Structure 1
Amino acid sequence: MNVIQLQNLHYRWQGQSRDTLAIAELHVAQGEHLFIRGASGSGKTTFLNLLAGILRPASGSLTILGQALHSMNAARDRFRADHMGVIFQQFNLLPYLSVRENAQLPCHFSTRRKQQAGNMQATTNRLLEHLGLDHQLWERPVTDLSVGQQQRVAVARALIGSPELIIADEPTSALDTDTRDGFLNLLFQEA
């Protein structure tokens, strides 16, 4: 089964005369990993936001896990919460929540991910430990953390509840070499 399937996908920012993205065809099968690289401003984040259903294509089809994301409306947000873990380039952590609360956030919006997580405390602890976040930080607000530590919280949030698809925008940009390697190993174990 294809996890991602795109056909004649086009996206154009409002007010632009040319397409920002035009992808004739793309298929990603279950178990495959897709890495996207390109210059700054080349459309990588736009592409990932299309895959996550945050942006809607101007034309073409976008099917994720068998669901036609391009034709979903309100159900698109529920689908994303249930089936996708997203690591945003700017992390999008909630500043008034603790490290632990931010990591567990998807389970409050998705019964499916909450069930998949099982014992939420144990699962959260395992993810935070694997990502090298000292347990003394877990109850502190994320605003007390360094940028690299915040990025690890964003990673834990994306992985909790074992979503079928992980979409990661610059997931290692603020990580040191050891933490980056540990994150990539964890990502490949979990994904």
Structure 2
Amino acid sequence: MIETLLAVRDLAKHYPSQGTTLRILENISFDVAKGEVVGLVGESGSGKTTIGRAVLRLIEPTSGTVTFDGTELTTLSAGEMRRQRPRMQYIFQDPFASLSPRMTIGEILTEGLKIQKIGTAKEREERARKALEHVDLPADAYNRYAHEFSGGQRQRVGIARALALAPEFIVADEPVSALDVSIQAQVVNLLRELQQRLGLTMLFISHDLAVVEFICDRVIVLYLGRIMEIASSEDLYASPQHPYTRALLSAIPMPDPDAKADRQILKGDVPSPANPPSGCVFRTRCPVALEACAGAVPALREVAPGHFKACIRDDLG
């Protein structure tokens, strides 16, 4: 039986801006099962990072609910939410900006434990050193500073910081996008190995669909703050049902330089969240849009077992 750890329902995030409203997220609903890795993909401005931060209440959603292991997070007080923090951690995108240059690695890794009043000083050090082992960093890293490490090693420190609190759920926000290509695969392999060994549940945010295919069990495709498609990784890459997903997948670089890619170039720019198109928000760039697409917002409907899309067309399968 699949046990849901995270349930997001009708999540929205709006910001006032110069007399108008930026609708960054609208009507976002999905579940994440225990032990599952779910990917969030889409172009810049699609709302991926906003979802990651909203589900952990690093920012407050405008409306909607986020339920973690049976507890509704959006109604908790600051104190109650603080007690939930050790169970939910965040891996940041930038390994350079996310680590204090004034703190040793040991101080960085034990900071969260101190805030949560977990263990004695000796026990906190033991947990931090164990976290360094998990990410394959040497023991002497504990007393060194972030500037002494490469970008890939710093991201390992960021992962260790999350692991030190023994979380059940991790939001990994573009964890390899700031790294050299030669290092990305090492960090992705590490995350996958840790997820399997420690039984972690993960929300993995990325614009790199090749990485998402490797690490994620299911994928959620976002466009302008709305969900376009949800499916298992296998189904999504083998049989994408939404025209936006097809365009994204067609842009993945092919390892064979002689292979002919059926590249689908989207016309125009992503519309402003201050003035999103009526009906389907993707219709202004969709190569197969109909007049009817300007009407009601298409519902996210199941088109195959476990495969959902928000599109009125039935002839794209």
Check whether TM > 0.5.
Answer: yes
User: Is residue 11–residue 57 contact of structure 1 (8 Å, CA) maintained in 2?
Assistant: yes
Task: Kindly state the Cα deviation for residue 162 of structure 1 after the two structures are TM-superposed.
Answer: 1.3
Count of aligned pairs between the two proteins: 187
Q: Which residue of 1 aligns with 2:116?
A: 110
Residue 73 of structure 2, aligned match among 69, 76, 84: 69
CA distance in 2, matches of 1:79, 1:134: 31
Q: Do the aligned partners of 2:134 and 2:160 also contact (CA within 8 Å) in 1? A: no
Equivalence for 1:180: 188
Contact 2:91 2:159 in 1 (8 A): yes
Q: Kindly provide the CA deviation profile for residues 67-87 of structure 1, in whole angstroms up to 9, marking residues without a partner as x.
A: 222222313541343321211
Q: 2:5, 2:69 within 8 Å by CA — same for their partners in 1?
A: yes
**1:4 aligned to 2, 6, 20, which one?**
6
Mapping for residues 15-34 of structure 1, pairs under 5 Å: 15=17, 17-34=21-38
Amino acid in structure 2 at the alignment position of 1:10? A
Report the more deviating stretch, 100-109 or 68-77. Answer: 68-77
TM-score (norm: length of structure 2): 0.53
Instruction: Give the secondary-structure state (helix, strand or coil) at the position aligned to 1:105.
Output: helix
Distance in 2, matches of 1:179 and 1:31, equals 19
Gaps of 5+ in 2: 201-317
**In the aligned structure 1, how far is the partner of 2:81 from the partner of 2:147?**
26
Partner of 1:83: 87
Distance 2:8 2:185 in 1: 34
Q: Which runs of 5+ in 1 are unaligned?
A: none
Alpha-carbon displacement from aligned partner over 1:126-152 (angstroms, at most 9, x marks no partner): 321332323333211223322222211
> 1:76, 1:17 → 2: CA distance?
30
The structure with more radius of gyration: 2
Structure-1 separation of matches of 2:83 and 2:137? 29
**Distance change >3 Å, CA 121–CA 99, structure 1 → 2:** same
Which is richer in helix? 1
Work out whether residues 105 and 143 of structure 2, in 8 Å CA contact, stay in contact via their aligned partners in 1.
Answer: yes
Amino acid at match of 1:4: L
Q: Distance in 2 between matches of 1:179 and 1:82?
A: 23
Q: Does 1:100 align with 2:102?
A: no
Structure 2 SS opposite 1:186: helix
Query: What is the root-mean-square deviation in Å for CA atoms of aligned residues?
Result: 2.3
2:63 match: 59
Which stretch shows the higher mean deviation, 140-149 or 171-180? 171-180
Partner AA of 2:4 in structure 1:
N
- Return the alpha-carbon distance in structure 1 between the equivalents of residues 94 and 184 of structure 2: 17
CA displacement, residues 79-135 of structure 1 (integer Å, 9 cap, x when unaligned): 343321211223522221111221222211224xx35xx944343223213323233
* 8 Å contact kept, 1:6–1:23: no
Higher mean C-alpha displacement, 49-58 vs 6-15: 6-15
One-letter amino acid of the counterpart of residue 162, structure 2: A
Distance 1:100 1:34, change over 3 A: same
The Cα offsets for residues 132-190 of structure 1, whole Å up to 9 and x where unpaired, read as: 32333321122332222221111001011311211111123324423431232023322
